Amino acid sequence: MTTEHSAEVDLDVTNVAHGGVSVARLDGRVVFVADSLPGERVRARISADDHSSFWRAETVEVLEPSPHRRPHIWADAALERDPARRAGGAEFGHIELPWQRELKRQVLVDSLGRFGKLPEDHPARGVEVEAVEGDDAANGLGWRTRVSLHVDDDGIVGPYAARSHRVVAVDTLPLATAAVEYASPLDERLSGAERVDVISDGRRGARVVVRAEGRTAGAGTPITERVGEREFRLEELGFWQVHHGAAATLSTGVRDQLLEGEFDADAPNLDLYGGVGLLAAAMATRFGPATRIETVESDRRATGNAEFNLRDLKAATAVTARVDRYLTNRLKNATAEERGGFSRASVILDPPRAGAGKQVVASLLEFRPAQLVYVACDPVAFSRDLGQLTAGGYELRSLRAFDLFPHTHHVEALAVLTPAS
C-alpha cells in the first residue's frame, strides 16, 4: 500500500516508544504516533513519508480510548487543535500521571535491555519512576521555573509546535510556576526578537530575558537558588534543573546512593559536568567538609560559580575544561602513585542528553574509580554508556528513576556502578 503525505489512516497503537510517541504498524511499516496511548485505536494523519523504514503520524481522533486517557492539561496542545498548531512540550499531557510514569518506566527498562544489555533478571529492571513531592497534589502542573519561548517574523511569542520549529500562539503555560507564567509575554508582539527566556529569580518573582540579533536584553545579574541549607549562585541563563524540586531530589538521591564502603574522602573524587557544584556539594554533605572533590565543567562562568558555591569546602576545586579532554590529560600525566589513587575515587557524572559517550566512558574505565554515580536525563544514551561500562568490567549496583518532567516523556535516572567482583 502506498500512503500519501498527510493521508488519514486508522491505527491500532501497541506500545510506547522513546521520544513521547507510541507505536503502530501499517502494512508492515512502523508508524510513530503522537498524542496516542498503547491500547488505543486512533485516526491519525501521516505527517512524513520520507523514511524507508517508518512513518510519523499525528492523532486527529480517538476511536477507542485507553482507560488511562484524560482531557489534556493544556488546551493549546489538545486534539481539538490542528496538529500543525499544537503546542509542544507536554506530549504526555493527555495521560493520567501514574500511567505516564509507567510508560516512562517501560521505555527505561526497554532501553536497559536493548542498549545496556542488562539481563532480564537484573533487579534494576524492576525500577519504579518516583514522583517529586507535591506533584501528585498539583496534578503535575506548575513546576517549571524556566521557560524558553520563541518569536516568529511577525513578533508572535510562544513555544514551538510539537516536533517543529514553528512558533504557535498560546494563552497559558500550565507547566510553569505561577510567577513564570505571569511574567511570560504571551500577549505581546516582540518584533525583531528571536527568543524569550523567562526565569524564576530563585525567590518569588521571575525575570524576562529577550534575545534579539545577537543582543540580550535583561537584568544580567546572577540568581541564587537554595537547596537545603546551602545556596548556589548561577548565571540567569546558566544551567539549573527546571523543576522547582529537582535539585533537592537529585542532591538527596546522590547523597543517599553513594556507597559508604567504597568512599574515600582523601581520594581524587570528581564531579564531571559539574555545573555550579550542586552534586559535589551533595557528596560533601554526606561525607564531610574535608572531602576532596574537583568539579569539571566546560562553561567558565559555571566553574566560577562552582568555586564560589563550594568556597567553604577547603578540599574542593573547580576546573574549566571539556570532560573528555580533562580525563585524557589527567590519565596521560598521572604518576603511578596518582593512578593508584584513582582506584579509590568516587566519580559523579551528570552528562548532557547525548550521554557521556565512548571516549569519556573509555577514560573512566582506565581511571577505574571505586564507584561511579551516573545521573542520566536520556534513557537510551544512558543505556549505551551502561553497556560500555559493564562490558568494561563494571556492574550496576543500584538504579532509581525520577519523574522530574511531568506531562512530558522525559525521565531522570540515577545509577551507581562499581568494578565487578
Rounded to whole angstroms, the Cα distance separating 187 from 191 reads 13
Residue 169 near residue 158, CB atoms below 8 Å: yes
* Radius of gyration from C-alpha coordinates of the chain: 23
Half-sphere exposure of residue 318: CA atoms within 13 angstroms, side-chain side = 26
Q: Let me know if 321 is a catalytic residue.
A: no
Rounded to whole angstroms, the Cα distance separating 299 from 172 reads 33
Determine whether 307 is exposed, middle or buried from the number of CB atoms within 10 Å of its CB (0-12, 13-18, 19+).
Answer: middle
Rounded to whole angstroms, the Cα distance separating 24 from 12 reads 6
Rounded to whole angstroms, the Cα distance separating 327 from 344 reads 16
The closest alpha carbon to 294, from 219, 348, 352, 241, belongs to 348
Rounded to whole angstroms, the Cα distance separating 359 from 299 reads 20
Is 241 labelled a binding residue? yes
Grouping H, G, I as helix, E, B as strand and the rest as coil, residue 281 is helix
User: Which grid coordinates are listed for 312?
Assistant: 567553604
86: which DSSP letter?
P
Looking at the DSSP bridge assignments, the partners of residue 207 are 199
Rounded to whole angstroms, the Cα distance separating 275 from 225 reads 13
Which residues, other chains included, contact 32 with Cβ-Cβ below 8 Å and sequence gap of 6+?
Answer: 17, 19, 21, 22, 23, 54, 55, 56, 57
Is 388 labelled a binding residue? no
Is 326 labelled a binding residue? no
Choose the catalytic residue: 278, 377, 414, 415. Answer: 377
Rounded to whole angstroms, the Cα distance separating 362 from 358 reads 6
Is 350 labelled a binding residue? yes
H or E element, residue 371: strand 371-376
User: Which grid coordinates are listed for 330?
Assistant: 589527567
Q: What's the angle, vertex CA 198, arms to CA 74 and CA 236, rounded to 5?
A: 145
Binding residues: 241, 273, 297, 350
Binding residues for S-adenosyl-L-methionine: 241, 273, 297, 350
Residues marked active site are found at 377
